Amino acid sequence: DYHGIVPFVNVESVQLGLSYKLDPIYGNNAIFSNNHFKKTGEFLLGPLYECQNETDKKKDVTPNNDEITTKETKYYKQFWEDVLYFCEFCFKYTNDEIKFTEHCKICPYQHNQPGKLVYLGNDYLIKKVSHHRHGVFLESLCLFTKFFLDNKSSFCNLKEFDFFVVYARELDGISNLRNKPLGFFSKQIASTNFENLSSILIVPPYRNRGLGTLLIEFSYHLSIHQLESLSKMHDSPNIECFTTGPESPLSPFGLKMYVNYWQKTLVIEMMNYKKNNKLDTPLIKYLMEKTHFESEHIILTLKYMKCI
How far is Cα 111 from Cα 90, in angstroms, rounded to an integer? 11
CB count within 10 Å of CB 235 equals: 6
Q: Are residues 104 and 116 in the same domain?
A: no
Residue 295 has φ and ψ, to the nearest 5°, of -60, -40
Write down the pLDDT at residue 278. 58
Domain that residue 280 falls in: 250-308
User: What is the biggest distance separating any 2 CA atoms in the chain, rounded to whole angstroms?
Assistant: 77
Looking at residue 2, its pLDDT comes to 43
pLDDT of residue 171: 60
> DSSP readout, 228-265?
HHHHHHTT----TT--BEEPSSPPHHHHHHHHHHHHHH
Catalytic residue flag (residue 296)? no
CB 158 within 8 A of CB 131: yes
Q: Are 292 and 243 in contact (CB under 8 A)?
A: yes
Identified catalytic residue from 102, 247, 294, 296:
247
Residue 229 sits in the same domain as residue 258: no
In this prediction, residue 217 carries a pLDDT of 97
CB 22 within 8 A of CB 13: yes
- pTM assigned to the model: 0.84
Residue 235: its pLDDT value, please? 62
User: Is 4 contained in some domain?
Assistant: no
Mean pLDDT of 160-179: 82
Alpha-carbon distance 153 to 70, whole Å? 27
Q: What is the pLDDT of residues 202-234, one digit of tens each?
A: 999 999 999 999 999 999 999 988 877 776 766
Percentage of the chain lying above the pLDDT 90 cut: 54
CA dihedral 92, 34, 200, 134 (to 10 degrees): 40
Query: Are 153 and 94 in the same domain?
Result: no
Whether residue 34 is found in the same domain as residue 72: yes
pLDDT at 172: 52
Confidence of residue 1 (pLDDT cuts 50, 70, 90): very low
Other beta carbons within 10 angstroms of residue 278's beta carbon come to 15
- The answer, yes or no, to whether residue 69 has pLDDT greater than 70, is no
Quick one: average pLDDT of 119-148?
93
Reported as a pLDDT band with limits 50, 70 and 90, residue 67 is very low
Considering the domain architecture, whether residues 69 and 147 belong to the same structural domain is answered as no
39 and 73, same structural domain? yes
* Position 47 pLDDT exceeds 50: no
Cα separation, 230 vs 233, in Å, equals: 5
- As a whole number of angstroms, the distance between CA 275 and CA 251 comes to 36
Confidence of residue 151 (pLDDT cuts 50, 70, 90): low
CATH number of the domain enclosing 238: 3.40.630.30
Mean pLDDT of the chain: 82
CA distance 43 to 81: 8
| 155, pLDDT greater than 90 | no
Average pLDDT over residues 278-295: 88
199/120 same-domain check: yes
pLDDT of 262 over the 90 cut: yes
Q: What is the CA radius of gyration of the chain?
A: 23
In a domain, 6, yes or no: no
Of 51, 77, 108, which marks where a domain is finished? 108
| Together in a domain, 217 and 119 | yes
3 domain-assigned:
no
